[in-house]
Structure 1
Amino acid sequence: MTKTKVMLELPDGMIEMGKELKLKCKSLKDIPPHKSRQWRGGEDNKLLCYDGVTIDSQKYKEEIKSSTAYELTVEKVSESDLQCPYACRIGFDIDQKFLNVNEENFIHMPNRNATNFIYERQNGTFRLSFELQKVYPKPVCMVISNGASKNLTVTDEVKSRVLLNVTYGLESDEPLHKCWEPITIECLIGKRTHTITTEHTSVCQTSQPNEETGTLTSGVAICLAFVMILLMLILSAIYIWKRSMTSCGDIYVKVRRNDIGL
């Protein structure tokens, strides 16, 4: 078996969007000056660099590292730079490899906390739905409610070249919130935790009275009961007083009549 004279080395660390990506090309022997150097790759597998001259000096830069190795730097990595082949050539010798991204070498957090967020109550059921955009790998999300966690279900998933737009949903007979406190959602993206907090005061106002309101209602009811009892006691006292006054009047009249008769 003939041994390859040129070897392409892909990055072995974590790849991050917006950062640089380095590809290294190595030769078993010193590279003669008269032999050309080429780089190909990217989304369209096009020529990127020829003998140090790149198609875009802001995007690609070649550097000779030694007599047997040279390196191509891809600036500000975008999605189109990933999940595609790359090749380096020295003269007629070439090595090509596929830059495959996975959970071990690539992570991208969502641009924003959440989009299309919905939290509502319909026919006694609490419904939660939201979307995470441009994320990788696919997050595992849960909502934290009253100290307990409930897993969210993926209801829709759209993939571009690498990144994902994922929609989550959950329906519950119990509220997923505490009144006047934001809803807390935790998503595990690779080995990182992404926390989302969202306000929901409109749902709280229309669906569930809080503890303070319940306490206030109970207090008002007790006060009303006390006032009613007090009013009944006052009316009873007035009635008894009037009866007493009537009895005293009758006795007085009888005494006067007896005095006159005598």
Structure 2
Amino acid sequence: MAAFYIASTAKVFWQLGQEVIELGKPLILQCTILGLDYIPKDKSRQWTGEINNRLFTFNGVSTCPSNYTEILEPPKTFKIYFNSTSIYNLNCPYSCRVGTMFDEKFLTVNESNFVYMPTARTTKLIESYNGSYMLNFNIEKVYPKPTCHITVGESMFNSSMVTEQKQGFLYNITYYYKLSKETQYCGEYLSVRCIVSSRHNRLYNYTVGQLKQCQSGKNSHATAVIVAVCVAIPALLVILLLVSNIHSICKRKKLDENNTRYHAVSLDTDTKAVSLHIQHT
């Protein structure tokens, strides 16, 4: 009678066999018998579920070993191990059974058990400069909704969420940020930091790049003056050198003319002719 009472109070219970679910990574569901010290050997074990309530495993035999298998952990537990989690494994019913005892319920994702991290491929940026710097930061797929900040140099600013859409149970979110005092952060590096799940310590960092170098009107004028001076000085030197060369040539020519002298050096008394000799000195 006591044995019958213990058996009648026994039941099975399944739960998530891991802390957090992530797409593309293994999924483990764990079934435990309660009210007994072990799983009776004469009772069958099976896992069924998903949309069509299909059979996954029966007494350790998998209907698709490449996708899922049973893990038996005596004396009271057996698990189903999916090699890679897909969206088709989530938000659907599962049932574990021992003999005639079973536990059936939905595997529902929520912020406590599921994380979908963004990637560079699912992140898009739109930057614009119109008197101030503006950034639209779009994450196509993420769960749960992250909290994002913009970091400029050593300063951190909050961003505003402007749109939110659902793709199944994933979010498509766009954040907006405007840097009004852009001149204070010229040339600084800008990045985005998102807290996706504080519960599971999941952070997403995205480097945007370097802000444009900017100059005030005074600096621009000074730069123009410096450039003009740098161009004028070599030109002036060339002109002075040219003038100096022309002056030297003229002076040399004048000296050559002054050094030419004429002398009457002989007189022929018979013919009364005078011979002139030109001497260059």
- TM (norm. structure 1) is 0.69
CA distance in 2, matches of 1:110, 1:223: 48
CA distance in 1, matches of 2:47, 2:11: 16
The answer to whether 1:19 aligns with 2:29 is no
**Structure 1 letter corresponding to 2:12:** V
CA distance in 2, matches of 1:112, 1:140: 17
The answer to whether 1:192 aligns with 2:197 is no
The answer to whether 1:49 aligns with 2:53 is no
CA distance in 1, matches of 2:122, 2:26: 27
% identical aligned pairs:
32
3-state SS in 1 of match to 2:182:
coil
3-state SS in 2 of match to 1:199:
strand
Contact 1:126 1:171 (8 Å CA) reproduced: yes
Partner of residue 68 from structure 2, selected from 60, 64, 67: 60
1:141-188 Cα shifts (integer Å, max 9, x gaps): 121235332221222223234332221112343339944444211111
CA distance in 2, matches of 1:169, 1:154: 6
1:35-72 Cα shifts (integer Å, max 9, x gaps): 33221223554332233232321111012222433221
- TM (norm. structure 2) is 0.65
CA distance in 1, matches of 2:183, 2:176: 12
Contact 1:45 1:84 (8 Å CA) reproduced: no
- Larger mean CA deviation between 97-106 and 58-67 belongs to 97-106
- Larger mean CA deviation between 18-27 and 86-95 belongs to 18-27
3-state SS in 1 of match to 2:88:
helix
Higher strand fraction (1 or 2)? 2
Q: 1:26 to 1:158 in 2, by over 3 A?
A: same
How far 1:88 sits from its partner (Å)? Answer: 0.2
Match in the other structure for 1:209: 214
How many matched pairs? 221
Match in the other structure for 1:94: 102
Equivalent residues in 2 for 1:91-240, closer than 5 Å: 91-112=99-120, 115-122=123-130, 124-145=131-152, 147-175=154-182, 178-190=185-197, 191-199=201-209, 204=212, 209-210=214-215, 215=219, 217-221=221-225
Q: Structure 1: where are the runs of 5+ without partners?
A: 228-262
1:211-240 Cα shifts (integer Å, max 9, x gaps): 7x9646415437869x9xxxxxxxxxxxxx
3-state SS in 1 of match to 2:225:
helix
Q: 1:33 to 1:114 in 2, by over 3 A?
A: closer
Q: 1:20 to 1:12 in 2, by over 3 A?
A: closer
**Structure 1 letter corresponding to 2:154:** G
CA distance in 1, matches of 2:181, 2:121: 24
Q: CA RMSD in A?
A: 3.5
How far 1:110 sits from its partner (Å)? Answer: 0.9
Q: 1:193 to 1:6 in 2, by over 3 A?
A: closer
Q: 1:7 to 1:114 in 2, by over 3 A?
A: closer
Contact 1:145 1:176 (8 Å CA) reproduced: no
CA distance in 2, matches of 1:94, 1:8: 9
State which structure, 1 or 2, has the greater radius of gyration over its C-alpha atoms: 2
**Structure 2 letter corresponding to 1:17:** L
Q: 1:223 to 1:199 in 2, by over 3 A?
A: closer
Match in the other structure for 2:90: 82
Q: 1:12 to 1:60 in 2, by over 3 A?
A: closer
